[in-house]
Amino acid sequence: MDFSAVGEKIKELRKQVGLSQKELSHNICTQAQISKIEKGEVLPLSSTLYLISQRLGIDVNYFFDIGTTPRLDYVIETSRQLKAARRNTDYETIKQIVEAEQNNPLFTRNKRHYQILLWHKAIYMYEVNKDFPKALELIEEAIALTFDKIFTEKEIEIFISKGIFHYEEGLLEESLEIYYKALAQLQKIPHLQDETIKSRLYFNIAKALTDLNEYDSSISYCKEGIDWAIQKDNLYLLAHFHYHIGYNYELQREFKLASNYMKEALVVFHLVKDSRYTDYIQEKIDRWQEDYHDRLSD
């Protein structure tokens, strides 16, 4: 373990969030101990390092990675590129990155880093190669690398991908079972580093419930997602939740309620400058209004 690399990063992060050594050490250890840690003279106990990481707002594993992995910056950048490609459903890019890095010692010699490659290999194996059994095999292998009684956030994300594969195969009941298990595990984590995981889970559950014609339950999960987004001051999927509530009402032919929620979705889509769905939604709203006026004139 490289004590100095860990200490330097703690010092850097402490200054970024505007904490003094005294403020960082409060109820954790002494200020003198923080000073020694930042100078690389000592490595704190794992419990102390965990409390420091919580105060600095990062995952404690980040410090262990810094101390044990050379060129961690390269691993982080590769992971960022994979995440961006995943969010943009750019599966060909995911395949290219994984194939380029699958023999890189920076990944193969670290379980958590290799887990990221296996996870994304499972994604392109399903989305590009259309190999459902192989994708599931890779997902299980990825989770098994680090799993220990309670899922980590990363393991939950991987588990969500497993649910998505089942959903896209039309195995709706199975996908829901996976999502519910992931949600139960998520609720055991006291503090989420990535709060969007819960939003994604709620949304995936809502979609599966809609396809099973369980509209009220789907709406309930969408509203949970909206409450979560508002609570965390995070717009992620907020528009999608409003749209999906409207979609549930549309399927039940309650077009006035559907229109109201879709109008709210439009507001948020415009706010976040996401125009991918706005024309489609507006056309629906306009069509319902025309139908309404036509019925009045008959």
pLDDT tens digit string along 159-199? 999 999 999 999 999 999 999 999 999 998 888 888 999 99
- Mean pLDDT check: name the lowest of 51-65, 130-144, 238-252: 51-65
Residue 2 pLDDT exceeds 90 = no
Residue 70 pLDDT exceeds 70 = no
Query: Can you give the C-alpha Rg of the chain in angstroms?
Result: 23
Residue 211 pLDDT exceeds 90 = yes
Mean predicted lDDT score pLDDT of the chain: 90
Question: Mean pLDDT across the stretch 138-157?
Answer: 90
- Mean pLDDT check: name the lowest of 130-139, 251-260, 289-298: 289-298
Q: 266 falls in which pLDDT band (50, 70, 90)?
A: very high
For residues 86 and 80, what is the distance between their CA atoms, to the nearest angstrom? 10
- Chain centre distance of CA 48: 27
Q: Give the pLDDT score at 41.
A: 82
- Mean pLDDT check: name the lowest of 109-113, 166-170, 244-248: 109-113
- Mean pLDDT check: name the lowest of 48-52, 63-67, 168-172, 189-193: 63-67
**Whose CA is closest to 250, among 215, 225, 206?**
215
- Mean pLDDT check: name the lowest of 39-48, 251-260, 277-286: 39-48
Question: Mean pLDDT across the stretch 231-236?
Answer: 92
What are the angstrom distances between the C-alpha of 39 and each of 13, 51, 188, 210?
14, 19, 35, 56
C-alpha torsion sign, points 86, 87, 92, 93: negative
Is residue 123 within 8 A of residue 135, CB to CB? The reply is yes
Task: Using a cut of 0.95, tell me whether the model's pTM lies above it.
Answer: no
Is residue 248 within 8 A of residue 212, CB to CB? The reply is no
- Mean pLDDT check: name the lowest of 27-31, 178-182, 294-298: 294-298
Q: Give the pLDDT score at 71.
A: 62
If one compares 191 and 67, the residue with the highest pLDDT of the two is 191
Q: For the chain, list the domains and their CATH numbers.
A: 3-68 (1.10.260.40), 203-298 (1.25.40.10)
**Whose CA is closest to 169, among 203, 201, 127?**
127
For the chain, percent of residues with pLDDT exceeding 70: 94
Residue 218 pLDDT exceeds 90 = yes
Q: Give the pLDDT score at 67.
A: 58
